[in-house]
A = this chain, B = another copy of it.
Amino acid sequence: MNEHEFSKKTIEILREIRKQQPLIHHITNFVVMNSTANVTLAIGASPIMAHAHEEMEAMSAFTSALNLNIGTLTPYWVDSMLMAGKAAGERGIPIILDPVGSGATPLRTEAAKKILAEVPVTVIRGNASEVMSLFTHKEEIKIRGVDSLETVDAVRDGAHRLAKELKKVIAVTGEVDFITNGEKAIEVHNGHPMFGRVTGTGCAATTAISCFCAVEPDLLVATACALGYYGLAGEEAARVSNGPGGFQVALYDALYNLSEETMMERLRIKPVK
């Protein structure tokens, strides 16, 4: 696919989301439960937040994607993710993992690795440091809390190899996003620095991916299109706002209102040669 075709595909997937209104099961952190639910709704899908062990299996009967996020986690929540992940795996529901803070503390790194070992995750989305923590020793990672100190460029090769080895899609987000399945790779040049001044915007990027993967079987393409669309909504939000408060409000509005014309003109999703 070339850039023009990626733009058309993004529009096509969005139309499908709004037609199907797929349910996206989130097991996510306390900070972003409200904002990621709102992003899901603004995109046109429907969120369900649930983590009780008693209903993890039941959820897989009527949901179309499973979004796992390890922020603010405790062991109980890791178990919720394992239970929901196994049930989703058996039904072939796409599972999207956001390894928030992996590399920063052993609890986070081990949780991310345990989920990857026991659950058939299909897509991973993280910043450069988080993704690096999945394929290297902790001592080598530069991370500060949940903020990456690595650049996307520094982890491209490692992410590509890891994607090939694990047979998953990996998205490393930053100034330019890099998406790979170990065979092919895509770059997304949409985005805006103001994302960094609002909490949970990385988690919400993962939510966008989950919505797109719920209706599009080609998960590499779905992930790239989701990040292009989400990044472009951020560009639009920055244009009409004046600070991080207004930016977040305008982001929801842009995700809801972005016209197909704007997407054809301004999406920047490109195959990597």
Interface residues of A (CB under 8 A from B): 21, 23, 29-35, 37-38, 40-42, 46-55, 58-59, 62-63, 71-75, 101, 104-108, 144-147, 196-200, 241-246, 248-254, 256-257
Whether the Cβ atoms of A49 and B72 lie closer than 8 Å is yes
Residues of B within 8 A of A196 (CB): 41
Residues of B within 8 A of A73 (CB): 52
Known: A30-B49, A41-B198, A72-B49. A253 touches B243 (CB 8 A): yes
Partner among B107, B250, B251, B257 whose Cβ is within 8 Å of the Cβ of A58: B107
Partner among B33, B249, B251 whose Cβ is within 8 Å of the Cβ of A31: B33
Residues of B within 8 A of A33 (CB): 30-31, 72
6 extra A-B contacts, CB within 8 A, seeds A58-B104, A245-B256: A37-B200, A42-B244, A52-B74, A241-B253, A242-B253, A246-B249
Residues of B within 8 A of A250 (CB): 245-246
Whether the Cβ atoms of B51 and A74 lie closer than 8 Å is yes
Considering residues A46, A54, A199, A200, which has the most beta carbons from chain B within 10 angstroms of its beta carbon?
A199
| 19 examples of A-B residue contacts, CB within 8 angstroms | A31-B37, A34-B35, A37-B199, A46-B147, A47-B145, A48-B101, A50-B101, A53-B74, A54-B75, A54-B106, A58-B107, A243-B254, A244-B253, A245-B248, A245-B249, A245-B250, A245-B252, A248-B252, A249-B249
Residues of B within 8 A of A58 (CB): 104-107
Tell me the nearest residue of chain B to A196, going by C-beta. B41
Known: A197-B256, A245-B250. A52 touches B75 (CB 8 A): yes
The smallest beta-carbon distance between A46 and chain B, in angstroms, is 6
Known: A41-B199, A244-B253. A49 touches B75 (CB 8 A): no
Tell me the nearest residue of chain B to A201, going by C-beta. B41
Tell me the nearest residue of chain B to A59, going by C-beta. B105
The smallest beta-carbon distance between A50 and chain B, in angstroms, is 6
Whether the Cβ atoms of A62 and B245 lie closer than 8 Å is no
The smallest beta-carbon distance between A196 and chain B, in angstroms, is 8
Tell me the nearest residue of chain B to A47, going by C-beta. B199
Residues of B within 8 A of A248 (CB): 38, 245, 249, 252
